[in-house]
Amino acid sequence: MVLMHPAPALSTLDDAGLRTLCGRLGIPEYRAAQLRAAPWQPFVATLDDVRQLPTELRSTFDAQVRFSTATVAAERTADAGATIKLLCGLDDSLTVETVAMETPARGASRRRGTACVSSQVGCAVGCPFCATGRMGLRRSCTAAEIVDQVRLAGHALHRHGFGPVTHVVYMGMGEPLANAAATIESLHVLTGAAGISARRITVSTSGVVPGITRLQREAPPVTLAISLHAATDELRNRLVPLNRAHPIAALLSAAGSYASATGRRISVEWCLIGGVNDSLQQAQALRELARSCGAHVNVIPMNRIEGSSWGPPDPEVARQFLHQLRGVQVTVRDTRGGDVDAACGQLRASLEARRELRPDGTLSPPRTAVGA
């Protein structure tokens, strides 16, 4: 259950809501536009930093809205500072992981500032290779909590001397389409008030077929990524237990319909696990499947997680697996921040192991707190 704060979250108040608020307070309507833009200005961490608003208005609004629903409780960096892993504390003291990643400009590619956000505290899907899956589901995030993670990632990039967030990926803790209403609401805020192009936002799902249909109907046309990890139902039933409810054929059919309706190419994610899904047969089945739906394949060698016998593949086996994917557009993603537990759920798991995180998911008195 989410502990409800009495004041609404500023980041998810829409134009109409802000105009109503201004009207109720007897404040000119043009202030609504300033309030809407306020959370997305650079260097703004509280309403007090919004200098366009007179001091007395700032304190009036401060009593009416919440500027942020999340704060940074812990921070770690890796990759020479280009990956910043945040543990974000929520109202009820539960925590989620958020990652900010800086990718410098290279050749014709512009720089990217990517925020990887969590959509749930924990996850009910229970993939055995995932640290978050071991936690079970504590609760879903609100739209404001998702959006505020993007803001905190932007602040973190700024603190480390980088530019703003340009891309958002829903690949942190949780299954975003098991929390479809909040995910869709957050997408409207990010593509609206925050001004991030839908083309630069990716929602990754383990295969919630009704959620894909709803995303197609109700959300801006973001990129859909399918966390496939196995190309046969037999293996996928083990790796992604949700597959028993939504098998591969149904998933690919929903993804194909999404691609046709939005004109966005599907991405397929494949966490490559040594001795589990790195066989030539799986590679060949993946190639056929990716060709059939014109998908781009992202291969991510598994991060080792504490207490699991599974880990990354042998480099030569991985090379042969990739060789089988010829003819398909493939990207091998580096496991950014592997040295700071940056795979989904790993920072949290390692803090738990060091007893900085209580078993109920709340933080012990923080040893590395930084400002929001």
DSSP label at residue 144:
H
Radius of gyration in angstroms for the set of CA atoms belonging to the chain, rounded to a whole number: 21
Asked if 104 and 110 touch (Cβ cutoff 8 Å), the reply is no
CB under 6 A: which stretch of 70-78, 122-130, 141-149, 324-332 binds ligand SF4? Answer: 122-130
Compute the least distance from the CB of residue 279 to ligand SF4, in Å: 21
Q: Is 123 in the site for ligand SF4 (CB under 6 A)?
A: yes
Any catalytic annotation for residue 175? no
- Toward ligand SF4, which CB reaches closer, 25 or 245? 245
Asked if 198 and 167 touch (Cβ cutoff 8 Å), the reply is no
255 sits in the region (left: phi over 0; alpha: psi -120 to 50; else beta) called alpha
- Residues 6 or more apart whose Cβ sits within 8 Å of residue 269: 204, 225, 226, 227, 228, 229, 298, 300
Instruction: Identify which of 255, 248, 343 has the alpha carbon closest to the alpha carbon of residue 301.
Output: 343
- Toward ligand SF4, which CB reaches closer, 25 or 353? 353
- Toward ligand SF4, which CB reaches closer, 96 or 100? 96
User: Applying CB under 6 A, which of residues 10, 94, 115, 130 lies at the interface with ligand SF4?
Assistant: 130
> Alpha-carbon distance 211 to 226, whole Å?
12
User: Applying CB under 6 A, which of residues 17, 62, 79, 126 lies at the interface with ligand SF4?
Assistant: 126
Q: Is 127 in the site for ligand SF4 (CB under 6 A)?
A: yes
User: Applying CB under 6 A, which of residues 95, 132, 149, 277 lies at the interface with ligand SF4?
Assistant: 132
Compute the least distance from the CB of residue 301 to ligand SF4, in Å: 15
* Contacts with ligand SF4, 326-345, as mask; x by CB under 6 A: ------------------x-
Residue corresponding to tokens 């829409």: 14
Residue with the CB atom nearest ligand SF4 in the bound state? 133
361 sits in the region (left: phi over 0; alpha: psi -120 to 50; else beta) called left
- Toward ligand SF4, which CB reaches closer, 194 or 240? 240
Q: Is 98 in the site for ligand SF4 (CB under 6 A)?
A: no
* Residue of 123, 141, 271, 344 marked catalytic: 344
Q: DSSP assignment of 82-133, as one string?
A: TEEEEEEEETTS-EEEEEEEEE--BTTBPPEEEEE--SEEE-SS--TT-TTG
Q: Is 125 in the site for ligand SF4 (CB under 6 A)?
A: yes
CB under 6 A: which stretch of 1-9, 173-181, 211-219, 324-332 binds ligand SF4? Answer: 173-181
What three-state secondary structure class fits 277?
A: coil
Q: What is the dihedral of CA 188, 189, 190, 191, to 10 degrees?
A: 50
Q: Is 278 in the site for ligand SF4 (CB under 6 A)?
A: no
- Toward ligand SF4, which CB reaches closer, 82 or 250? 250
* Residue of 22, 75, 97, 127 marked catalytic: 97
- Toward ligand SF4, which CB reaches closer, 71 or 243? 243
- Toward ligand SF4, which CB reaches closer, 206 or 262? 206
Q: Which residues from 208-227 bind ligand SF4, rule CB under 6 A?
A: none
- Residues 6 or more apart whose Cβ sits within 8 Å of residue 272: 278, 299, 300, 301, 302, 312, 313, 318, 321
Q: Which residues from 343-362 bind ligand SF4, rule CB under 6 A?
A: 344
Asked if 242 and 286 touch (Cβ cutoff 8 Å), the reply is no
Q: Is 175 in the site for ligand SF4 (CB under 6 A)?
A: yes
Amino acid (1-letter code) at residue 269? E
Any catalytic annotation for residue 141? no
Catalytic center residues: 97, 344
Residues that bind ligand SF4 (CB under 6 A): 123, 125-127, 130, 132-133, 173-175, 206, 344
